[in-house]
Amino acid sequence: MISFGASEEQELIRNTLREFAAQVLRPAARAADEASELPAGFLDQSWELGLTATQLPAAVGGGGEARSPGTNALVLEELAHGDAALALAAAAPSAFAFAIADHGTTEQQGRLLPRYCGSKFATGTIAWVEPSPVFDPLALTTVAEAKGDKFVLSGKKRFVVMGDRADELLVIARNASAATGGFAALDAFVVPRGAPGVTIGEREKLLGLRALPAVSLTLDKVEVPAANRLGGERGIDARRLLACSRAASGALLTGLARAVLEFAIPYAKDRHAFGEAIAQKQAIAFNLAEMRIETDAMRWLVWKAASFLEHDRDATREAYQALSYTAERAMKISDDGVQVLGGHGFIREHPVEMWYRHARTLSVLDTVAAL
Amino acid sequence: MISFGASEEQELIRNTLREFAAQVLRPAARAADEASELPAGFLDQSWELGLTATQLPAAVGGGGEARSPGTNALVLEELAHGDAALALAAAAPSAFAFAIADHGTTEQQGRLLPRYCGSKFATGTIAWVEPSPVFDPLALTTVAEAKGDKFVLSGKKRFVVMGDRADELLVIARNASAATGGFAALDAFVVPRGAPGVTIGEREKLLGLRALPAVSLTLDKVEVPAANRLGGERGIDARRLLACSRAASGALLTGLARAVLEFAIPYAKDRHAFGEAIAQKQAIAFNLAEMRIETDAMRWLVWKAASFLEHDRDATREAYQALSYTAERAMKISDDGVQVLGGHGFIREHPVEMWYRHARTLSVLDTVAAL
Amino acid sequence: MIDFTFSDRDQKILDYVRSESLAARKYARHYDENEHEFAPDELPEAANFPGVFAVMRKPGPEDSGPMVMGMLIAAGQTWGDYSVRVRRGRGAGLGNAALGASGTAEQKAKWGPLLLAMAITEPGCGSDPSLVQTSARLDEATNEWVVNGEKIFVTTGCRADGAVVWATLDKSAGRAGIKSFFIPKTAPGFIVAHKEKKLGIRADDTAAYVFKDCRIPRDHLLGGKEEIPRGGDSGGFRDVMKTFNMTRPATAAFGLGMSQAALDFTREQLEAAGVDLAYGAGVHGKSAAADRFQRLEALQEAAMLTVLNAAWLSQNGKPNNLEASISKAKGGGAVREITQGCIDLLGPLGVSREHLIEKWFRDVRITDIYEGTGQIQRLIIARTILDYGRGELK
Amino acid sequence: MIDFTFSDRDQKILDYVRSESLAARKYARHYDENEHEFAPDELPEAANFPGVFAVMRKPGPEDSGPMVMGMLIAAGQTWGDYSVRVRRGRGAGLGNAALGASGTAEQKAKWGPLLLAMAITEPGCGSDPSLVQTSARLDEATNEWVVNGEKIFVTTGCRADGAVVWATLDKSAGRAGIKSFFIPKTAPGFIVAHKEKKLGIRADDTAAYVFKDCRIPRDHLLGGKEEIPRGGDSGGFRDVMKTFNMTRPATAAFGLGMSQAALDFTREQLEAAGVDLAYGAGVHGKSAAADRFQRLEALQEAAMLTVLNAAWLSQNGKPNNLEASISKAKGGGAVREITQGCIDLLGPLGVSREHLIEKWFRDVRITDIYEGTGQIQRLIIARTILDYGRGELK
């Protein structure tokens, strides 16, 4: 049944997050970006929202609520409306934990998930992106070779979000023994950050999302027990894992675009030129209308992908559409946002130039979040 | 030396063509489109302009003026400003004759070109396009096999402009003996329309350019003497041939776009809504400004390709850019032209809906003209 | 709960509509090439199609609601053809919607069964109602309205039994003076001037009307309110806006049905030619054709979802004026880009009249023009989000 | 005669400029990351680069003219970096252009050798000169102008020896009251408030000025005309427009030099990774990456040609006000799309500060903003082609 209606509970969560974004993320965003550091205490603060634990099974100490990509789409949009860099940091534990919950065996869930139901902040991370100008998430150079009851991982990863502090890395690799390529060849392995052969590289310096810690990573013949192959014999549903990340990026990009629009409207009404508010010029007004049209369209595409995931349907197509569409539109909207502010859009007194950098950065890192 | 200055002689030609377009093509365009027929006497009338003969060598009876793609760019823009369908019909003889002049041996020129220097209208045509949803001018299915001192041609062609009356067809085919693919494999053969195995198919029914006669064509083991292989042993410079056609289409699309702009300006100044001329609304005014910006950009890209061709430089890149850019922009400009007129843009009382069809049709037929 | 999946009843209905539309599509080219003819109210195939609601069980709580399904069905029908239907529904004219929105109970009962066109636009006025020249003068002696003026772009204007016509009681009063009247074709002085010759939807019946001292009974004023309100809009104008609130998403859906047809045809052709259109890989795992095609598919999806959102809102009794304009603006632009892009991918074959895609390219172009152009929609959207009145944003 | 090929002198010059720019590029990242520093007037590499005109023969009739070459050289320099030069030319400020356009012979001789910034924008006014609040009052007693007000976005404002400043003699007179004054940094009450913190061109020197009862001699009014013309614009305003006529294509060229750098880097990376970027084939012979990249290259080419056209016209003494705005509008939009698109193609590597492309993405963004935004340019273009005055198209 086609329905655009969030449940009462979802409305509640959305309002909580909207407030949290407005009061915690937005005020701290600029300083965090300039300092290239997360605000002190931010991770603990966001941990208290219980975003991760709530949707983890009661069996591992979680809230036992159903995994809801739909709810998470609302959550990520609101967080990114505050700030996309801080949103990604806050969402990092979920990215890892939900992947374990979706694809892990009961044993793996029991072993790995309890930490994410505790009162203390904990995070793992997903290492998928590789250093190539033609990076494609389905064509990985990081390989996993079976060796007895172990797997040996070798390769390089980039932009591993929170990799500087994550205790566990979920490394996406190509299974050397896979007959075909594409999704079927993808496997995921839980690698302790301390494992021999793992080198955490230096902090990535990015165009945008500067507050977000991300590192490069080298895997040199890293041996992991077969038990750490996510999903065991069965392996993972790589289509779902990728769809979850893409839809998540889409939700973040939607929140970012909405932030631009909602900042631009009062600015354009307040700013005067040639005898009237610039919002009274059709060129500006229609531009704002365009932003409004597109943020709606962006959200519905994300929701559709989320709904498919919630129904355990293959969402490869829907999630790809959600990401490619939101990426293109968020870029345009943040770009137009700078233009609406003119010279003031180019200086760092206003957040718009930061959102412009965030949009471009976020939209090419399509496998760093999950919902 | 970078120069945007047309020579005095070129200015003269441009003004002549502008007048011819305004007084002959434009007034006849609508009726010709509705009737799917060229206006009676049009070909003879345009023949008198001497567009083809002037640039053919004196040795074959031509005017002996230097081949000037630059001049032809001006000519085609003006003709298409009148009407793109009639422009293509008027330019058809040049498309064939200039190809012979550029690529033919002295013998071939002496044999084929005199007809194009006479006082009576004569035309051949180039048969390049093939019936495939993934047609690519470099990947042809029409093949030419050497057989003794003959070549045997087999394949199907579509959208052969003026093919219903052309006495000679210049058939572009893949040379079966060519080692590599791409440009190197392309050959051109002069085929008399009456040759055994040649079947001229029925008249093509098109979205736009309805006045322009175009037919499909079947070649069933058509034998032509080796002497009819354009360029003889050497063959043709396929890069130049394709570049000439693409630049020509670019020039036509530029003229078409300019027609839309110049029609929309007075209309928008005359048409009133909500108390002022619609041209006084920024949304409309900026749209017209955009059209003006783009028609300039389109023209310069075409001129650059033409200039490279005039200097016998490889213009593959420049011509590709000219065509792809002008195709995209002409589509947008004619589309926006319809929008400026609103409901009146949708009815056949105004030429704009016809230009919208012309633009879409012309821009996918990228090998039917030449300059 | 947020849900974008179909119940199997939803799916069965949409499948049924497609099969019906496919049958109608066989006649699309004929009525495009012979625009003076009208498609019959029933095609020979009608016998095989009892109608969707005849074959479907009643909707349950797990099924999509009527307005949402209405949009999907509308798109499913134009997917076959904009004008030709296996069985043409009666009383489906825009005028009927206007009657429903602003007629009295008695008027609805009396004229509801008729097919009513909606006559708003005039040669001199596009989307600006304050320029309406058609006048209605009350003849106290005979108790009749005397209507004079010209209307153009009247959808289903030739086949309709009558029309809901915008006329002004007092030009000096601007919008406020505008009222809607029901005028039957039988009224003296009602002249159907001609059928418009158009770029697309040629089989469709778009007429131009002339009213020459056309006389109708006094009770033919919709809603019956004859006084001109001081300041602000007249009931007539507001009522038409109400109508638009229902018709804007619908017109977008009509267009999106055709752009979907273009996408389906293009996919078919490209896949047959061996182009891999599978999703999953990023840009570097794709051909140019797949990349371009998938962008168009995403655009189609995005536009359709804005339509469903507008419908879902009114289905749930929520205000949807903003969302109706969003869907119309988005749909109107999307169908242009999609049909243009599909032809670009198909190359020469795309512009040949041996296939229907060139027709869809022509037919969809009306979407961004009628029922308020994309510019008008953006004005409405901008005024809403900026909280501006007509005076502040012109 | 229409010609788009370079003479070998043209080519040699452009090659030389590129090699010089490449040397400067080594320092680009440092001054971007350390925005409080200024790049030196001469880099250590300066010794290896005697300057282009030192090594070139005089131009002949077969060579491109000075204005056209000026644009190509400007783009060639920003191709290295927007702010860092092997040898910074003096007197290259926008204020010098203004002085050249509207100063008296004596004023030009006296102040020409200085580096002059141009101070127009104020916190309260973007591109609307009639909102200028900075005032100049004549003190008859001392025969001095007393200037008060604030200016922002002053390019080269920190390093300049002085600035050409817009101030009004009479706010009630609107544009007509605006005059340009030369104010040396040494003038009492001239305060350089701070260097702006920006998205891009961070190494560049963009200052905010405050004038507090700042006193300058009476002869510092550029052009010397003190009276306020009745109706119409003041000389000051017209002169600045003259200046813009020269600077609009130049600013577009600055941006296009950087977008060209982004394209060159992207091609390098993609080709190294085995992507075939050869021209020739149609869409169905290409990968998605090649298709997208080639569209961006065509856009770059198109924009650069509008710049060269504007330059060529003024080089030949032809009016180029329309074409100057076309080049600025086209260039300003193109560089945004091109740098965004290149990063899209490079993916994650494109947003890493280990490469300069993310910097070019930030740096080019100013192009569509300063020297008149894209919107202002479109207003100028629309008014010109519609033959409208300021009152008819606002």
| Per-residue pLDDT tens digits for C34-80 | 988 888 889 999 999 988 878 788 889 999 998 999 999 999 999 99
Residue D308, both tokens: 């060269």
Report phi then psi at D315, rounded to 5: -60, -30
Name chain B contacts of C345, Cβ cutoff 8 Å: 133
Supply the angle between the helices D374-386 and D321-346 in degrees, to the nearest 10. Answer: 140
Model confidence at D172, in pLDDT bands (50, 70, 90)?
Answer: confident
Q: Is C282 on the interface with D (CB under 8 A)?
A: yes
Distance CA(C255)–CA(C364), nearest Å, equals 5
Distance CA(C260)–CA(C349), nearest Å, equals 18
Instruction: Check: CB of residue D307 under 8 Å from CB of residue D252.
Output: yes
Provide the pairing of β-strand D116-119 with D162-168. parallel
Q: Is B286 on the interface with A (CB under 8 A)?
A: yes
> Residues C57, C58, C62, C68: what is their CA dihedral angle, to the nearest 10 degrees?
110
Distances (CA, A) of D256 to A113, D15, D78: 52, 17, 8
Instruction: Check: CB of residue A44 under 8 Å from CB of residue A36.
Output: no
Q: Is B265 on the interface with D (CB under 8 A)?
A: yes
Q: Is A136 on the interface with C (CB under 8 A)?
A: yes
Instruction: Check: CB of residue D305 under 8 Å from CB of residue D288.
Output: no
Instruction: Check: CB of residue B74 under 8 Å from CB of residue B156.
Output: no
Model confidence at A230, in pLDDT bands (50, 70, 90)?
Answer: very high
Provide the pairing of β-strand B198-203 with B214-225. antiparallel
Instruction: Check: CB of residue D358 under 8 Å from CB of residue D343.
Output: yes
User: In chain D, whose CA is at the least distance from the CA of B270?
Assistant: D386
Distance CA(C338)–CA(C295), nearest Å, equals 9
Distance CA(A34)–CA(C133), nearest Å, equals 62
SS3 C196: coil
Distance CA(D31)–CA(D40), nearest Å, equals 10
Distance CA(B94)–CA(B336), nearest Å, equals 32
What's the DSSP call for residue B366?
T
User: In chain D, whose CA is at the least distance from the CA of C345?
Assistant: D283
Residue A80, both tokens: 């990114």
Name chain D contacts of C287, Cβ cutoff 8 Å: 284, 286-288
SS3 A273: strand
Distance CA(B130)–CA(B103), nearest Å, equals 22
User: In chain C, whose CA is at the least distance from the CA of B358?
Assistant: C351
Q: Is the pLDDT of residue C126 over 80?
A: no
Model confidence at D52, in pLDDT bands (50, 70, 90)?
Answer: confident
Distance CA(A207)–CA(D29), nearest Å, equals 13
Q: Is D370 on the interface with A (CB under 8 A)?
A: yes
Taking Cα atoms as reference points, which of B349, B208, B330, B210 lies closest to residue B260? B330
Please count the other Cβ atoms lying within 10 Å of the Cβ belonging to residue B49: 17
Give pLDDT, residue D242: 59
Calculate the average pLDDT of chain C: 91
Distance CA(B330)–CA(B350), nearest Å, equals 18
Residue C38, both tokens: 């009208």
Give pLDDT, residue A371: 81
- Name the strand (E) or helix (H) holding A49: none
Name chain A contacts of D197, Cβ cutoff 8 Å: 347-349
Name chain B contacts of A290, Cβ cutoff 8 Å: none
Tokens 């020197």 belong to D205
Distance CA(A269)–CA(A278), nearest Å, equals 7
Distance CA(B217)–CA(B238), nearest Å, equals 21
D346/chain C closest Cα distance in angstroms: 10
Give pLDDT, residue C90: 59
Report phi then psi at C318, rounded to 5: -95, 150
Q: Check residues B142 and C225 and name the one with the higher pLDDT.
A: B142
With CB atoms and an 8 Å threshold, state whether A283 touches B282: yes
With CB atoms and an 8 Å threshold, state whether C308 touches A2: yes
Identity of the residue in D288, D345, D347 whose CB atom sits nearest the CB atom of C288 = D288
Identity of the residue in D275, D283, D345 whose CB atom sits nearest the CB atom of C289 = D283
Q: Which amino acid is at D358?
A: E
Disruptive mutation site among C275, C277, C287, C295 for chain D (greatest number of D CBs within 10 Å): C287
Name the A residues in 140-159 with CB < 8 Å from any D CB. 158-159
| Per-residue pLDDT tens digits for C71-102 | 999 999 999 999 999 987 655 677 887 888 78
Q: Is A334 on the interface with D (CB under 8 A)?
A: no
Q: Is B281 on the interface with A (CB under 8 A)?
A: yes
Name chain B contacts of D7, Cβ cutoff 8 Å: 1
Instruction: Check: CB of residue A38 under 8 Å from CB of residue A336.
Output: no
Q: Is B242 on the interface with D (CB under 8 A)?
A: yes
Give pLDDT, residue C247: 82
**Section A227-239 average pLDDT:** 96
With CB atoms and an 8 Å threshold, state whether D285 touches B6: no
Name chain B contacts of A283, Cβ cutoff 8 Å: 282-283, 286
Distance CA(D258)–CA(D366), nearest Å, equals 12
Give pLDDT, residue C234: 46
Burial of A178 (0-12, 13-18, 19+ CB in 10 A): middle
What is the per-residue DSSP string for A210-261? TTS-EEEEEEEEEEEEGGGBTTGGG---HHHHHHHHHHHHHHHHHHHHHHHH
Where b means 16+ CB within 10 Å and e means fewer, D191-229 reads eeeebbebbbbbbbbbbbbbbeebbbeeebbbbeeeebe
Calculate the average pLDDT of chain D: 91
What's the DSSP call for residue A48?
T
Alpha helices by DSSP H, listed for chain C, are: 8-25, 28-33, 52-55, 66-78, 94-102, 105-111, 235-272, 288-315, 321-346, 357-363, 374-386
Alpha helices by DSSP H, listed for chain D, are: 8-25, 28-33, 52-55, 66-80, 94-102, 105-111, 235-272, 288-315, 321-346, 357-363, 374-386
With CB atoms and an 8 Å threshold, state whether D199 touches A348: yes
- Catalytic (active-site) positions of C: 371
Give pLDDT, residue D234: 46
Distance CA(B339)–CA(B343), nearest Å, equals 8
Chains that touch D (3 or more CB pairs under 8 A): A, B, C
Can D20 be counted among the known catalytic residues?
no
Q: Is B21 on the interface with D (CB under 8 A)?
A: no
Distance CA(A173)–CA(D190), nearest Å, equals 63
Regions of chain B short of the pLDDT cut 50: none
**Section D341-355 average pLDDT:** 95
> Residues C330, C335, C336, C341: what is their CA dihedral angle, to the nearest 10 degrees?
120
Report phi then psi at D272, rounded to 5: -60, -30
Instruction: Check: CB of residue C116 under 8 Å from CB of residue C98.
Output: yes
Name chain D contacts of A343, Cβ cutoff 8 Å: 121, 126, 152-153, 369-370
Residue D6, both tokens: 């370079």
**Section A20-31 average pLDDT:** 98
Distance CA(B150)–CA(C350), nearest Å, equals 36
Calculate the average pLDDT of chain A: 96
- Name the strand (E) or helix (H) holding A293: helix A282-310
User: In chain B, whose CA is at the least distance from the CA of D302?
Assistant: B297
Instruction: Check: CB of residue B153 under 8 Å from CB of residue B199.
Output: no
Residue A173, both tokens: 């690799």
> Residues B327, B329, B330, B336: what is their CA dihedral angle, to the nearest 10 degrees?
140
CA pseudo-torsion sign C218, C221, C223, C225: negative
- Number of residues assigned to chain A: 371
Taking Cα atoms as reference points, which of B159, B173, B158, B162 lies closest to residue B224? B173
Model confidence at A358, in pLDDT bands (50, 70, 90)?
Answer: very high
Distance CA(D328)–CA(D336), nearest Å, equals 13
Residue D7, both tokens: 């003479």
Instruction: Check: CB of residue B43 under 8 Å from CB of residue B90.
Output: yes
Chains that touch C (3 or more CB pairs under 8 A): A, B, D
SS3 C87: strand
Burial of D316 (0-12, 13-18, 19+ CB in 10 A): middle
Disruptive mutation site among B30, B34, B134 for chain C (greatest number of C CBs within 10 Å): B134
Q: Is the pLDDT of residue C270 over 60?
A: yes
> What's the gap between Cα A268 and its chain centre?
31
Give pLDDT, residue C309: 97
Distance CA(A95)–CA(B78), nearest Å, equals 60
With CB atoms and an 8 Å threshold, state whether B321 touches D297: yes
User: In chain A, whose CA is at the least distance from the CA of B281?
Assistant: A282
